[in-house]
Structure 1
């Protein structure tokens, strides 16, 4: 069973109509969401805009629709060369005449795209910033009719953002060279500092600013104590996300490789992605992740920006992210289709020690290191909060909210406790070793002393004779690690710059030791029990609201979609997203007219896939 072949973009006529008509006919949606309508109308009217909208919030439509309404070609500046083909394929699939210009094309391909641009045959053209700033490109655009400039991933222009790109600094030239062409800059999340920096660097001071709520209510945020993180990750996948697509972020290339191998050995289809792999391998792995269902990508932060895969059901971090901004951007790659998804992070003492050491060793001046420390402090505060994770996250971006009921601390409230006495005991141990013996040690050895463990190292150093030896037996080893971690997070303990991860007191420690400062701590959860689960549990959980017949039909539609995607060499979501398939499975339209009313089914897709979809629906018994 197969659908009709997608026609080449050159055979499509330019879509014509008002913004709402185009939204319905081309993209298959009945109405705009949130601020989309205001943004679209503003840009169609020739106004500049800066749009801050969370991943999955529909940023692309904010420039795609105006580019179709306004005369000329919309030029999209994006750093995502590896994804431009997929972005163009997705637009062509709905009948939009889209192309890109980048370093992957032959000279003949480039000349053909340039010819079509000048002939007025393109609705949207994607460019990398490196190509845009070439004088030859500038001269080409001078000769074309440009409807708008869209600057995607605009946080890349900011020194305060988490993904700084120097090539973006030249984009202020858009305002100078083409002052009459409207510009729209878009990014998923930005603090006030990043927002201000984007505004200044892109000369958008007179632009209208649209700041949507950054909340992603379909994502459940969970942060767990690190305890064999790969095993914990495996448990998460098998019990909650079997068969689901997911992304696992790791701090180092080595961890990426080991994590991917571990998952494959456990029967999970996983792939590595990091800057140390050759370009061909990275491209092949990215392509598999986008085009196949159920692939888990283990990656450094080199992967993910601009990934438009709507059905990523989980994003996991097995190392502590460097900033809340980066963490939120990365977790936002889950659940772009609005369906339930998970953001999971395993976090431990060694993460804090490692991150502090990396900051101390980083290049840059004191101001740069202070900025890195501020980012880390905010990330630690999120990990250690006893309140709602979502409230803490949104507060970081300057947005107020109420407890969400869909994060770990809301679902299983965490108790706070007065940790002043344990803090005093640990800080006293550090002081005695440092002052009495001019020695510094890491957390493990300090905890052994407090627990009264006669390890060879304790005996060799004579630390069993210290007055603090054995005074901490009221807490477990895991609880003491929590004390150390939280003292580091609160700035009451610091990592020494000797390169060995030893611990020292800070100026603030004195108030704790003197009893003039109370130290409240987050209660350490009990060690979780190992659970086992079958593959496929993830899909079952994500579709738990579907009855048995609808769930079976949804799976059959996914199989049909995979066949279509494979035959056309495009990602599955280019055919239809999961949200569209779920609606098809629950409503079972029996005519083309009824099918046209399904979200995500525009005119082009109705013509391309309509009869084939109806055949699947009619062939699947209730």
Structure 2
């Protein structure tokens, strides 16, 4: 347990950083004064220090409520590396370790205790905490309290109990994904009406966004993206179904990439093994459903790719936010198709949720589609969803870097809508496209649709272009999916204005653009590559010896600063961000030896 020190002293000597980032210092001062706080800060923005430092600076221990075991293990490992007395209580901890942790808490030997909400809410645990000196409660991933959010956890609804049982102990709720409605719900459900609210920009300027559409070519586009831009680097590929996860992981392995599947259908031991390899080895790609990632604190994930459309901007933001947590350049890449839109709309309509819930989920999907189909800056659209205004285009998304071509799709839309109507508003997209292109399909003859005026009316566009157009019509609410039938399309009241020529439609041109190539590790000069690899190799060896992920030793950003500054002494190494006193004593000499050896050879 740390002796009494100031927050800035802890920041510098324990964590190895010279100054706080806004608004960390204000949040910490709020908790030091026993006031509640609500912190809205992007992934990688430094939320954890907001509660870790005051828990260490005040007498007693801080209790951190965390929804996932993997997240607890990561943070406890990292804190122990820095010399902080931290422990966790969850279902993966042995009975012997639980007893030792509880005794350490009673004796005042812990700075931080991470605990799952289910265990925290047990009467036995609450009595234990009442017997101990607790200096704060931190509720991490606070958006889990929202029943209208994307990651609802029922047990989070009961955390208001902390305010009732421990009214004098300050609480801090933290999240990186909350639209204005969810923020209001967090305040209400956790009784944080008197909390100070700290909201930092949701922008992650180091992430470059690429979104592509099309019904074909997704696999090869993904392969080009990885090989050209992230060869040998860690990444996550998200898919909608377990089956596709297995298929894509196997295919990437056949392409000689180090890829592993992860989904809830795998055994617990296999999931643990794959997650551990991803965290501890370099260059591993995890192919996963959304079951993976919330508890991952790996800072050097260089890309997150989606091969299916996420169901909401919150989900997309949280998943892409797992890239580039170290602040170095990273990329969010997506390829989606019309079938994703149809499938997600059907899932919403066929769910057992009430009508209000279905309507809310439909609005969230519409917002996600608007982000995909926009012809303006994606970052402006993304931030606007979270109630934030970006004054000028970001210059770091595909639309800014290569402005998309547009076309007047009004006449084509009229043809598509007429085809939906004249075929009886009961057929899916592929059949409608076949009619427009006068394809030789027995069903068309059977239904007599070859005699319609719209038969063959669409030969001026390709099948892919028609599919893209139908996707736009779905997005704009001009057609709807018949959830009671077999996914056929029907006209909505909004289609009338387009059919009558009262409204025009300007759309993004259909394209399957290849990604532009960049040099791997663009921040590393060729002359520095050997030293960079030597530093990473030494870090890897230290991590393997201790059974922890490499980034728990030092982040890539810390190694990058060693490479840039080339310190020649322990005093110089101590000024590198991320090198605290404990790590300096444990690893300083060996990293200096590598730096000095390289200088001698240069």
Shared fold (TM-score greater than 0.5)?
yes
Question: Which secondary structure state, in structure 2, belongs to the residue aligned with residue 221 of structure 1?
Answer: strand
1:616 is matched with which residue: 589, 594, 602?
A: 594
Q: Please state if 1:427 is matched with 2:417.
A: yes
Displacement of 1:453 after TM fit? 2.3
Bigger mean CA deviation after superposition, 411-420 or 154-163: 411-420
Which residue of structure 1 aligns with residue 406 of structure 2?
Answer: 416
Question: Which secondary structure state, in structure 1, belongs to the residue aligned with residue 576 of structure 2?
Answer: coil
Cα distance in 2 for residues equivalent to 1:618 and 1:262: 43
Q: Please state if 1:298 is matched with 2:298.
A: no
Displacement of 1:499 after TM fit? 4.5
Q: After TM superposition, which residue ranges in structure 1, 4 or more long, deviate above 6 angstroms?
A: none
Which residue of structure 1 aligns with residue 276 of structure 2?
Answer: 287
Consecutive unaligned residues in structure 1, runs of 5 or more? 1-12
Which residue of structure 2 aligns with residue 519 of structure 1?
Answer: 505
TM-score by length of 1: 0.94
1:580 is matched with which residue: 555, 558, 577?
A: 558
Which residue of structure 2 aligns with residue 225 of structure 1?
Answer: 213
Q: Please state if 1:96 is matched with 2:84.
A: yes
Displacement of 1:529 after TM fit? 5.7
What is the CA RMSD across the aligned residues, in angstroms?
1.4
CA contact (8 A) 1:357 1:499 kept: no
- Report matched runs for 1:444-523 at 5 Å: 444-523=430-509
- Report matched runs for 1:17-96 at 5 Å: 17-96=5-84
Q: Please state if 1:212 is matched with 2:200.
A: yes
Which residue of structure 2 aligns with residue 254 of structure 1?
Answer: 243
CA contact (8 A) 1:82 1:283 kept: no
Cα distance in 1 for residues equivalent to 2:457 and 2:441: 16
CA contact (8 A) 1:15 1:96 kept: no
Which residue of structure 1 aligns with residue 167 of structure 2?
Answer: 179
Question: Which secondary structure state, in structure 1, belongs to the residue aligned with residue 135 of structure 2?
Answer: strand
Cα distance in 2 for residues equivalent to 1:502 and 1:17: 66
CA contact (8 A) 1:454 1:464 kept: no
Displacement of 1:320 after TM fit? 0.4
Q: Please state if 1:374 is matched with 2:363.
A: yes
> CA, structure 1 residues 529+391, in 2 after alignment: closer, same or farther (shift >3 Å)?
closer
Question: C-alpha deviations, 1:402-424, integer Å up to 9, x for none?
Answer: 21000000001013332111111
Question: C-alpha deviations, 1:2-57, integer Å up to 9, x for none?
Answer: xxxxxxxxxxx514321111100000001011211111111111110000100000
Cα distance in 2 for residues equivalent to 1:370 and 1:254: 28
TM-score by length of 2: 0.97
Cα distance in 2 for residues equivalent to 1:161 and 1:210: 20
Aligned residues: 598
Cα distance in 1 for residues equivalent to 2:591 and 2:560: 13
Displacement of 1:257 after TM fit? 0.9
Cα distance in 1 for residues equivalent to 2:508 and 2:522: 33
Cα distance in 1 for residues equivalent to 2:405 and 2:191: 48
- Report matched runs for 1:57-456 at 5 Å: 57-226=45-214, 227-401=216-390, 402-434=392-424, 440-456=426-442
Displacement of 1:251 after TM fit? 0.8
Displacement of 1:619 after TM fit? 2.0
CA contact (8 A) 1:546 1:586 kept: no
Question: Which secondary structure state, in structure 1, belongs to the residue aligned with residue 14 of structure 2?
Answer: helix
Displacement of 1:470 after TM fit? 1.4
Cα distance in 1 for residues equivalent to 2:125 and 2:327: 38
Cα distance in 2 for residues equivalent to 1:490 and 1:564: 54
Question: Which secondary structure state, in structure 2, belongs to the residue aligned with residue 27 of structure 1?
Answer: coil
Which residue of structure 1 aligns with residue 543 of structure 2?
Answer: 565
> CA, structure 1 residues 15+327, in 2 after alignment: closer, same or farther (shift >3 Å)?
farther
Which residue of structure 1 aligns with residue 578 of structure 2?
Answer: 600
Cα distance in 1 for residues equivalent to 2:49 and 2:317: 22
Question: Which secondary structure state, in structure 1, belongs to the residue aligned with residue 113 of structure 2?
Answer: strand
CA contact (8 A) 1:449 1:464 kept: yes
Cα distance in 1 for residues equivalent to 2:526 and 2:70: 39
Consecutive unaligned residues in structure 2, runs of 5 or more? none
Cα distance in 1 for residues equivalent to 2:506 and 2:471: 13
CA contact (8 A) 2:436 2:455 kept: yes
Q: Please state if 1:589 is matched with 2:567.
A: yes
Cα distance in 1 for residues equivalent to 2:295 and 2:40: 15
Question: Which secondary structure state, in structure 1, belongs to the residue aligned with residue 18 of structure 2?
Answer: coil
> CA, structure 1 residues 530+174, in 2 after alignment: closer, same or farther (shift >3 Å)?
closer
Question: Which secondary structure state, in structure 1, belongs to the residue aligned with residue 157 of structure 2?
Answer: helix
Cα distance in 1 for residues equivalent to 2:476 and 2:440: 30
Cα distance in 1 for residues equivalent to 2:228 and 2:573: 35
Cα distance in 1 for residues equivalent to 2:38 and 2:388: 18
Question: Which secondary structure state, in structure 1, belongs to the residue aligned with residue 453 of structure 2?
Answer: coil
Question: Which secondary structure state, in structure 2, belongs to the residue aligned with residue 552 of structure 1?
Answer: helix
Cα distance in 1 for residues equivalent to 2:3 and 2:295: 25
